Amino acid sequence: MLLMSVKPIYAKLIFEGRKKYEFRKKIPTLQYNSRVIVYASSRVRAIVGEFRVGNVYYMNIPDLWKLAKEKEGGVTKKQFFEYFRGYSHGYAIEILAPFKYPKELTLDEIRKVIPGFNPPVNFMRIKGKLKKVINDFLLDIDA
């Protein structure tokens, strides 16, 4: 499992089914169908849902933009090229089976169990105490 920080506007688009790809400058090794837990950053500051990884593309930026434009990338041309400014290549992670949780796991709630926890700027593997906190939360919302 991977915890990925996403701006709230893009998290909203993911869970509305209007953003089919997540664009990144760097990514860890991702397996098809692996699980990504979404942390909505800035004002939301909470784990809000998850998706499964589809195909992962590594392409030059103009070709990556073609993919974004044609396949519901969820970003404007200006946003896309500003994000990738200074990079010749980037990644597109296909978003499969997005699922918004019925409630959120806030940063404050996480910090009650893991004092001083800081969410990733980009992504992090979920392990140890964080894995337990997330699994307990998911069990609670399934009940």
- The DSSP bridge partners found for residue 50 are 37, 99
Query: Taking a C-beta distance cutoff of 8 angstroms, is the pair 29, 58 a contact?
Result: no
Model confidence, pTM? 0.93
How many residues does this entry show for the chain?
A: 143
Query: Taking a C-beta distance cutoff of 8 angstroms, is the pair 67, 82 a contact?
Result: no
Q: What is the pLDDT of residues 19-59, one digit of tens each?
A: 999 999 999 999 999 999 999 998 999 999 999 999 999 99
pLDDT at 143: 53
Q: What band does 71 get if pLDDT is binned at 50, 70 and 90?
A: confident
